Chains A and B, each alone.
Chain A
Amino acid sequence: MGIKMSFDMFMQHFINAVGLGSLYGLIAIGYTMVYGILRLINFAHGDIFMLGAYFVFFATVSYKLPWAFGVLAAIAGATLCGLLVDRIAYRPLRNAPRISALISAIGVSFFIENLSVVVFSGMPRPVVQPPLLMKAFSIGGVRLVPLALLVPAISFALAAGLLWLIYRTRSGLAMRSISHDIETTRLMGVSVDRIIALTFALGSALAAVAGIMWALRYPRVEPFMGIIPGFKAFIAAVFGGIGSIPGAMLGGLSLGFVEIMSIAFFPKLSGYRDAFAFILLILILLVKPTGLMGEKLEDKI
């Protein structure tokens, strides 16, 4: 293409891509966990993400709570919502055909979005960024704010923590066991509903963290803000191999890179940004249907 790009500019794009990609990855983890266990695309995940962002907005802007409290309250609130969604809309459908749960998920997603319009109003609201996180500095020719480094750092730390939980604790063992065979796990005396609830709680908490960081990075909240990030994160989860947590992170980062670098290298085609992501998704599905790091999931017939 004959595009000359300075090293500094490439690094700037690189940083942008890592920032965006790690957020996609963090949201994707929630999709991947639920899908891995229930084979359910949890469409409401993007809306839990949105609620997390809103709760922080209310805690810090409307109730003037300190940031640390606001963040904790938002995580708790979003986790509770995630649990409620599972309890009310998914648990009654555990033994139903998969499409029923899927439609229920779409219904819940619509419900949360529209209820948010009624309750919060459709007006976008500003989020206050702590000035400390926004103090710009330069390394070489690359401009950074501390937040741009903090976001990937927190995302990776959380993903690592989650991996530890899944591979080193009894609950994690139970989760992995359910994802292989839910009935056998039940027979082994594991409280399946509790473990599934735990999965939803963890996924929702991570979505809330992602929502908070998203609201800091792109400082405004509105009821439909979860749709597109949720959608992208879902692609990321599939791309990385659904069911795999490192895969979700890798998928998120890949998607971030595809989106940013497609513009960096083909600026004329910036209108097609999302198409690149989808083409890549379809290609990977055709070449390796289980995604980059996915294991073979037997279709439950």
Chain B
Amino acid sequence: MRKLLPALLICLLAAGGAFAADDVVKIGFFNCLTGQNAFGGQLELEGAQLALSEIPEVLGKKIELVVVDNKSDKTEAANAVARLIERDKVNAVIGTYGSALAMAGGEVAEAAKIPVMGTSCTNPLVTQNKRYYFRACFIDPFQGSGAAAYAYKTLNFKKAALLVDVANDYSVGLGSFFKQSFEKLGGEIVSEMKYNSGDQDFTAQLTEIISKNPDIVFLPAYFAEGAIVLKQAKELGATFRFMGGDAMDNPEIVTLGGDAVEGFLHTTFAYDPSMKDMNPVAQKFTENWKAKYPDKEPNVNAALGYDAFILVIDAIKRAGSAEPEKIRDALEATKDVPTVTGLTTLNETHDAEKELGIVEIRDGKKQFIGTITP
């Protein structure tokens, strides 16, 4: 009954055309819908939209998701967030894929005192010294040390090489954290090669790495580039294993890489449609996703888009208000909220603490191997 009355009122008001802003909760969503990172941003949007269709209202108010494209460009990202806050007057913002974009948008939100929930921006700098930026994902030092521990302890690899995109902040960061942890564990980095975003020929770097004979090569690339690296490595007769990070987590990697990606390992968030023992949220997410987008596989980006939405709504519920400042305070107190990628707790630096998943590609399919907590 208590829900019915406001809902009725909303309908009446809507019919009258006088839609008072107080009757909707506006969640802004900025992400890469076009440009170089569109493959990730699009999935995150679909994840958030799926969550919206399951949770259409909060505190008896209708939720509206205002979507703005940041075009994988920093200037546009800052513009997009400014637009969401100034023009659309959103209560909170969700986004984005790409840490550099998150940082550009974050500065605007910080100045306007509007809370933001990051989706898959994993660079530590995103939330550093920020009062209003949070994220649904873990950060690269955690991921890098987890990957190093898995390679060194579980797989017993002692010699590693790095192949890093020097122009990509994510790649450089994750590569460097892997290196630190791997060396700390006692492993040896035998070769450290670099390339530039957009490069398509990696034969020189790979030939050099092959000559150093490592056990494993850590490749913190985006999946489209990574798949091509793996192809060329196979062509050149590389026999070592490759390992990557969460940016390699895309269903397309198998289509792009073909049999060259066989045996490829990557760390990721604790969700994959191939997972055996899914938590209830993940089960529901997977089922509903398949109903809503029948010809698309869900992945971690989709899951994080969904999770980010859930975390914001959870905070609004706990705050009992959609006031930005109150949402922020509630977000800070987020503890053990069940999400697709496991129980999420936001720590004092506003980063999600959750398990790290390991995926291997076997028989042309992504197989979720398990989770580790380093």
Please list the residues of chain A having a beta carbon within 8 angstroms of any beta carbon in chain B. Answer: 6, 9, 12-13, 16-17, 19-20, 117, 121-126, 134, 136, 138, 143, 145, 148, 214, 218-220, 222, 224-225, 227-229, 259-261, 263-264, 267, 270-271, 273-274
Contacts and interface: CB of A to CB of B under 8 A. Distances in A.
Interface of B is mostly: helix
Contacts of A122: 34-36, 38-39
Interface stretch (B99-107, B123-131, B146-154, B191-199): B191-199
Contacts of A274: 196
B166 interface: yes
B192 to A, nearest CB: 8
Closest 10 pairs (CB-CB, A-B)? A271-B194, A16-B203, A263-B204, A271-B166, A124-B224, A218-B200, A143-B237, A260-B204, A122-B38, A270-B194
Nearest to B193: A270
Given A13-B207, A136-B237, A145-B235, A267 B191 contact: yes
Contacts of B34: 117, 122
B200 A12 contact: no
A124 B39 CA distance: 9
Given A123-B39, A219-B231, A271-B166, A264 B204 contact: yes
A198 to B, nearest CB: 31
A5 to B, nearest CB: 8
A259 to B, nearest CB: 7
A146 to B, nearest CB: 11
Contact of A124 (B191, B231, B256, B258): B256
Contacts of A143: 235-237
Interface in B19-45: 34-36, 38-39
A218 B200 CA distance: 6
Contacts of B38: 121-123
A6 B210 CA distance: 13
Given A124-B224, A126-B256, 5 more contacts: A124-B39, A138-B237, A267-B191, A270-B193, A270-B194
A220 B195 CA distance: 18
Nearest to B258: A126
A229 B198 CA distance: 10
Contacts, number: 96
Given A126-B258, A271-B194, A273-B196, A9 B207 contact: yes
22 contacts: A12-B236, A117-B34, A121-B38, A123-B38, A123-B39, A126-B252, A136-B235, A136-B237, A138-B237, A143-B235, A143-B236, A143-B237, A218-B200, A218-B201, A219-B228, A219-B231, A219-B256, A225-B200, A229-B200, A263-B204, A270-B208, A273-B196
Interface string B196-226: 1011110111011001000000000000100
Contact of A228 (B39, B194, B200, B235): B200
B255 interface: yes
Interface of A is mostly: helix
Contacts of B232: 218
Contacts of B227: 126, 220
A123 to B, nearest CB: 6
Contacts of A17: 204
A6 B205 CA distance: 16
Contacts of A9: 207, 211
Contacts of B236: 12, 143
Nearest to B257: A126
A229 B201 CA distance: 10
Contact of A270 (B195, B203, B256): B195
B224 A227 contact: no
A136 B234 CA distance: 9
Nearest to A269: B194
Interface in B254-284: 255-258
Nearest to B163: A270
A98 to B, nearest CB: 28
B235 to A, nearest CB: 5
Contacts of B198: 224, 227-228
A111 to B, nearest CB: 15
B237 A263 contact: no
Nearest to B172: A271
Contact of B203 (A19, A123, A214, A224): A19
